[in-house]
């Protein structure tokens, strides 16, 4: 647990969450959501939860982004908000 590292990642987390929810292009939103997942993974590794960090790296930053992109490409990429 390193407090400075903690604070930096948490600030980036909030920024990534806000960006991924405010972009109008859904593909960009999915990519920023992948970044969000990777930041969460870093935060978990920093808290000592290595197994959870490993799972998040494969699932949150990898598979869930791919699934969202697959759906977006099969539906519509533009969003009104």
Partner 1 sequence: MKAKIFASIAVAITGAVLLYAVTDFPNFGDPRSPANAGVEGGSPSASLYYIENTYRDTKVPNLVTAILADYRGYDTLFETVVIFTAGMAIFAILRVLRNENAPSAPSPDPEASNRTIDGDHHRIIVGITCRIAVPLVQIFALYVVAHGHHSPGGGFQGGVMLGASFILIALSGSLRDALARFSEASYIRLASIGILIYAGVAFLPLVFGRNFVDYGALKGLLGTDGEEMARSHGIFGVELGVAFTVMSIMFAIFANLSTRGRLKGGL
Partner 2 sequence: METFFKEAVVPHFNFWIYVIIMMIGLWSVIAKNNLIKKLIGLSIFQTAILLLYVSLGVKEGATIPIIDHHAAELSLAGDAAAINPDAIANPVPHVLMLTAIVVGVATLGVALALCQVIYKDFGTLEEDEVLQKIKALHDDV
Asked if residue 39 lies in contact with residue 12, where contact means CB atoms within 8 angstroms, the answer is yes
Please count the other Cβ atoms lying within 10 Å of the Cβ belonging to residue 62. Answer: 14
Number of helices (H) and strands (E) in the chain: give both, helices first: 4, 0
Return the number of the residue (18 or 59) whose C-beta is nearest partner 1: 59
> What are the b/e assignments for 63-74, b being 16+ CB within 10 Å?
ebbeebbeebee
Per-residue contact track with partner 1, 38 to 57, x per CB under 8 A? ------------xx-xxx--
Instruction: Please give the residue ranges that form the binding site for partner 2 (CB under 8 A).
Output: 1, 6-7, 10, 13-14, 17-18, 20-21, 26, 29-30, 33, 36-37, 40, 43-44, 47-52, 55-56, 59-60, 63-64, 67-68, 70-72, 74-76, 79-81
Give the residues lining the site for partner 1 (CB under 8 A): 1, 27, 50-51, 53-55, 58-59, 62-63, 66-67, 69-78
């Amino acid at each position: 647990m390193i407090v400075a590292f903690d604070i930096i990642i948490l600030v980036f987390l909030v920024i990534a969450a806000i960006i991924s929810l405010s972009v109008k292009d859904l593909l960009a939103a999915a990519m920023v959501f992948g970044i969000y997942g990777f930041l969460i993974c870093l935060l978990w590794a920093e808290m000592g939860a290595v197994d959870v960090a490993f799972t998040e790296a494969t699932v949150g930053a990898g598979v869930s982004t791919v699934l969202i992109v697959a759906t977006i490409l099969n539906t519509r990429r533009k969003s009104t908000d």
